[in-house]
């Protein structure tokens, strides 16, 4: 590959751009993971993660990816043959179902069109009909990265409560945590699943569970096989700042720095507002181009990623290839049944107005070069939206 000057634009919806400060922190010399400095590092990271998850409960950090955290949520709380309810709300929701099936769980998948979030009414029907409480857990993705559609988790909780059903609520926050407001305790979530590589502004490599007391209790009866992902040893060791095996020490250096930036310096509220502004500006550009945002319900628009439908007869693969070759920018592919049909713009993580402007310029120029029918002026609309919504200086 020939030299490409300037920075690569990594505008897939994760992994996201890692700030230089975080990269520098990761490059500190590795320390003894059984020493006092490591303990202080772990405890600081756990405290920060509790703030980000908005929980007073427990957070567990694994070396791993989001898929590992999915597995950990299931194997620590359920037994072979247990019934769980999930939603056909997108590609990642489907992959989590696959993990559940691989462990012998019986998964009742509520159908969906992928353009809407998980449906609380359909869930309520399932739970009301389940008089014997055979359903042990509800699995839902907060922000479906493949579609740019969010689910109202508070409404899902309400449906469970209204049915008086004891099922655990498990929520995938992989592409919402640190970019879209997520409230673990307020929404009564039992197990949350997350990864380091999206809103948290780190490279891939850390996996997280936030865990309620009810989930810990359920775990005492759970019979699914587990070893690497066992919460028990992790919780005991983490309480003192250590791990039952070698942690990803240098990623924890990065996490400590990223948490400081998000919580102490920018403030979580501002982080979410920034993502909302970027989501809104992106959608305005899309509409001005005469293209269609894949998410159908404005109340469910994602602030971290936008999926855009290609005009009939034009492939996203070709468009993304043209943009990568000419403008050194990676955009998200269509996944699963959306392959070829949508491309995705990631606008999450360490990202600002001018990065979004550059991203949208690359898309607009790419649409032209790839011969995709569109109108001009998406960038102009986005810039107007951004300048009209600049937060007041404090």
Name the site residues for ligand PLP (rule: CB under 6 A): 14, 65-67, 92, 141, 145, 172, 174-175, 195, 204
Q: If you count them, how many residues does the chain have? A: 394
CB of 95 to ligand PLP, least distance (A): 7
Q: Is the dihedral of CA 206, 207, 211, 217 positive or negative?
A: negative
CB of 386 to ligand PLP, least distance (A): 26
Pick the closer one to ligand PLP by CB: 48 or 66.
Answer: 66
Distances (CA, A) of 24 to 18, 20, 203, 256: 10, 6, 12, 12
Pick the closer one to ligand PLP by CB: 195 or 241.
Answer: 195
Pick the closer one to ligand PLP by CB: 197 or 385.
Answer: 197
**CA–CA gap between residue 90 and residue 294 (Å, rounded):** 12
Pick the closer one to ligand PLP by CB: 170 or 382.
Answer: 170
CB of 141 to ligand PLP, least distance (A): 5
Concatenated DSSP letters of 297-354: -GGGB-SSEEEEEPPTT--HHHHHHHHHHHH-EEEBPP-GGGTTTEEEEE--SS--HH
CB of 15 to ligand PLP, least distance (A): 8
CB of 66 to ligand PLP, least distance (A): 2
CB of 174 to ligand PLP, least distance (A): 4
Distances (CA, A) of 324 to 14, 156, 180: 16, 39, 28
Pick the closer one to ligand PLP by CB: 145 or 282.
Answer: 145
3-class SS at 88?
A: coil
CB of 61 to ligand PLP, least distance (A): 14
Pick the closer one to ligand PLP by CB: 65 or 276.
Answer: 65
Give the residue closest to ligand PLP by C-beta. Answer: 66
DSSP E strand stretches across 189-239: 191-195, 206-211
Pick the closer one to ligand PLP by CB: 349 or 378.
Answer: 349
Give the pair of three-digit tokens for residue 178: 């640190």
Distances (CA, A) of 352 to 26, 157, 255, 347: 22, 33, 20, 9
């Amino acid at each position: 590959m020939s030299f490409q000057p300037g920075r690569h634009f990594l505008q897939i919806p994760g992994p996201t751009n890692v700030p230089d400060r975080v990269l520098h922190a990761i490059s500190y010399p590795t320390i003894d993971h059984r020493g006092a400095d490591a303990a202080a590092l772990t405890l600081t990271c756990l405290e920060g993660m509790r703030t980000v998850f908005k929980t007073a409960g427990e957070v567990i950090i694994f070396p791993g990816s989001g898929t590992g955290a999915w597995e950990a949520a299931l194997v620590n709380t359920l037994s072979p043959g247990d019934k769980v309810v999930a939603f056909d709300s997108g590609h990642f929701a489907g992959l989590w179902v696959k993990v559940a099936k691989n462990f012998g769980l019986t998964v009742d998948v509520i159908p969906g069109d992928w353009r809407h979030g998980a449906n609380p009414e359909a869930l309520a029907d399932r739970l009301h009909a389940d008089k014997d409480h055979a359903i042990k857990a509800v699995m839902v993705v907060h922000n479906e990265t493949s579609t740019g559609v969010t689910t109202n988790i508070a409404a899902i909780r309400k449906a469970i409560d209204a049915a008086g059903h004891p099922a655990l609520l498990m929520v995938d926050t992989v592409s919402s945590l640190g970019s879209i407001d997520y409230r673990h305790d307020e929404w009564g979530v039992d197990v949350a699943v997350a990864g380091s590589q999206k809103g948290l502004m780190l490279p891939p490599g850390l996996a997280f569970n936030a865990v309620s007391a009810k989930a810990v209790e359920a775990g005492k009866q759970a019979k699914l096989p587990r070893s690497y992902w066992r919460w028990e040893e992790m919780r005991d060791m983490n309480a003192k700042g250590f791990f039952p095996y070698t942690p990803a020490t240098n990623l924890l250096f990065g996490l400590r720095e990223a948490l400081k930036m998000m919580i102490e310096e920018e403030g979580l509220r501002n982080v979410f507002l920034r993502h909302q502004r970027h989501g809104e500006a992106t959608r305005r550009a899309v509409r001005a181009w005469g293209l269609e945002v894949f998410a159908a319900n404005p109340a469910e628009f994602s602030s971290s990623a936008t999926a855009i439908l290609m005009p009939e007869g034009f492939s996203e693969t070709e468009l993304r290839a043209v943009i990568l070759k000419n403008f050194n920018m990676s955009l998200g592919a269509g996944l699963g049944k959306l392959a070829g049909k949508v491309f995705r713009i990631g606008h999450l993580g360490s990202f600002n107005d001018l990065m979004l402007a550059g991203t949208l310029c690359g898309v607009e120029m790419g649409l032209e070069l790839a011969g995709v029918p569109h109108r001009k002026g998406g960038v102009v609309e986005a810039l107007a939206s951004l300048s009209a919504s600049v937060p007041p200086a404090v």
